[in-house]
């Protein structure tokens, strides 16, 4: 494990607390499997830091090879003088640190268990299943009352299936009708769609396109951000979806001064860059706030605010595939 010395990063939001934030960034930069993803997150983090003109915030970095080094990396950042931790990136690493961190901490993945009572641990996650309630709101705002949820046997699709099955009745809808399209059968599909007024594509981009091709062209379709790829196929035009402002609102006043990535990244990888941007901005806001629940931050990954628990909520704009974005 290696780390960089503390370096100055500009930001002035710390003035409210009277203490200069010293951010400790904990990422798997030495991991054979995750180093490229970690480097993209760090690039976004650094871009957000460079976009600010007021000096003050300090940054230290601890590089991990795997989750077993999380505690050692945390101790290194403590020794460097960090007073706020950002990271790690994996779900297991986030869980490990959340259970033990004594400093305010923003982990960059979902937490399945609540942090210890009294701890100051928050979770900023790009998990697509967190987008399901916002897609449900789109459906209901459009007056859809009888959608059919289309899913398959893949783990990601199963997580989305569960999220939509919970989100739809939570907003007053009746039990959501579902259909497994792992091996689509025309008869089953036609029967399921007979009285439906929309479909929800709880699928990745490739499977969503393949399934959309089997559906009536005029049937409204809705999806999470997975379908928003650089080159969405023509069959997907007209699908309504939610996604981060980084893509749908590139001139957002709170982030337009932050440099875009220099390399040509896939849409999925650039999401990690946006995560790094918001990790820096939110960490500084949290470190400089006496009442974090009041924070409202127009971000790259969404309009950010804290929910009732430890999860950072991301409110997302919506768009239509094929529309000008």
Residues 109-131 as b or e (16 or more Cβ within 10 Å = b): bbbeeebeeebbbbbbbbbbbbb
pLDDT of amino acid 307: 78
pLDDT of amino acid 1: 60
pTM of the model: 0.93
Joined tokens for residue 51: 């976009």
Q: Give the length of the chain.
A: 325
pLDDT tens digits for range 16-62? 455 789 999 999 999 999 999 999 999 999 999 999 877 689 999 99
pLDDT tens digits for range 172-198? 988 899 999 999 888 889 999 999 999
pLDDT of amino acid 262: 85
The answer to whether the beta carbons of residues 128 and 158 sit under 8 Å apart is no
pLDDT of amino acid 309: 82
For residues 133 and 318, what is the distance between their CA atoms, to the nearest angstrom?
13
Can you tell me whether residue 9 is helix, strand or coil? Answer: strand
The closest of 189, 114, 113, 115 to 151, measured between CA atoms, is 189
**Residues linked to residue 122 through DSSP beta bridges, in sequence order:** 106
The answer to whether the beta carbons of residues 76 and 93 sit under 8 Å apart is no
Q: Round the CA-based radius of gyration of the chain to a whole number and report it.
A: 21
Q: Before 78, cis peptide (omega within 30)?
A: no
Q: Report how far apart the first and last C-alpha atoms of the chain are (Å, whole number).
A: 41
The answer to whether the beta carbons of residues 301 and 314 sit under 8 Å apart is yes
The closest of 221, 216, 208, 206 to 147, measured between CA atoms, is 221
What are the domain boundaries of the chain?
22-127+251-315, 129-243
Residue appearing with tokens 């991991």: 31
Query: Which residues of the chain are under the pLDDT cut of 70?
Result: 1-18, 55, 324-325
Burial class of residue 219, CB neighbours in 10 A (0-12, 13-18, 19+) = middle
pLDDT of amino acid 19: 73
**DSSP state letters, 91-135:** HHHHHHHHHH--S-EEESS--SSPPPTT--EEE----GGGGHHHH
Four-residue CA torsion sign, 10, 13, 16, 17: negative
For 228, the enclosing helix (H) or strand (E) is: none
Strands (E), 35-141: 57-63, 84-86, 105-107, 121-123
Phi, psi of 277 (to 5 degrees): -55, -50
For residues 75 and 255, what is the distance between their CA atoms, to the nearest angstrom?
32
Instruction: Please tell me if the domain spanning 22-127+251-315 has the same topology as the one spanning 129-243.
Output: yes
pLDDT of amino acid 6: 38
**DSSP state letters, 295-322:** -EEE-SSSEEEE-SSSBEEEE--EEETT
CATH for 22-127+251-315 is 3.40.50.2300
pLDDT of amino acid 8: 35
| Topology of domain 129-243, CATH | Rossmann fold (3.40.50)
């Amino acid at each position: 494990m290696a780390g960089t010395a503390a370096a100055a990063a500009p930001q002035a939001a710390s003035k409210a607390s009277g203490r200069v934030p010293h951010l400790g960034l904990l990422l798997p930069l030495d991991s054979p499997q995750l180093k490229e993803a970690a480097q993209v997150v760090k690039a976004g983090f650094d871009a957000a830091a460079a976009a600010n003109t007021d000096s003050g915030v300090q940054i230290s970095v601890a590089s991990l090879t795997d989750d077993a080094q999380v505690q050692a990396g945390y101790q290194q950042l403590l020794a460097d003088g960090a007073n706020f931790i950002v990271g790690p990136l994996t779900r297991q690493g986030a869980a490990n640190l959340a259970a033990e961190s004594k400093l305010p901490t923003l982990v960059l993945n979902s937490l399945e268990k609540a942090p210890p009572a009294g701890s100051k641990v928050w979770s900023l996650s790009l998990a697509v299943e967190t987008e399901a309630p916002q897609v449900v709101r789109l459906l209901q705002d459009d007056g859809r009352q009888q959608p059919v949820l289309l899913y398959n046997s893949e783990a990601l699709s199963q997580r989305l299936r569960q999220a939509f099955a919970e989100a739809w009745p939570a907003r007053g809808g009746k039990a959501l009708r579902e259909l497994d399209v792992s091996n689509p059968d025309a008869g089953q599909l036609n029967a399921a769609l007979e009285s439906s007024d929309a479909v929800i594509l709880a699928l990745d981009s490739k499977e969503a396109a393949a399934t959309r091709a089997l559906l009536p062209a005029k049937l409204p379709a809705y999806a999470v951000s997975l379908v928003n790829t650089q080159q969405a196929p023509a069959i997907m035009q007209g699908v309504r979806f939610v996604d981060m402002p980084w893509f749908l609102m590139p001139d957002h006043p709170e982030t337009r001064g932050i440099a875009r990535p220099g390399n040509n990244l896939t849409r999925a990888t650039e999401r990690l860059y946006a995560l790094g941007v918001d990790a820096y901005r939110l960490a500084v806001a949290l470190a400089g706030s006496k009442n974090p629940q009041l924070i409202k931050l127009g971000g790259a990954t969404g309009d950010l605010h804290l929910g009732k628990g430890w999860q950072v909520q991301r409110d997302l704009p919506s768009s239509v595939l094929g529309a000008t974005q």
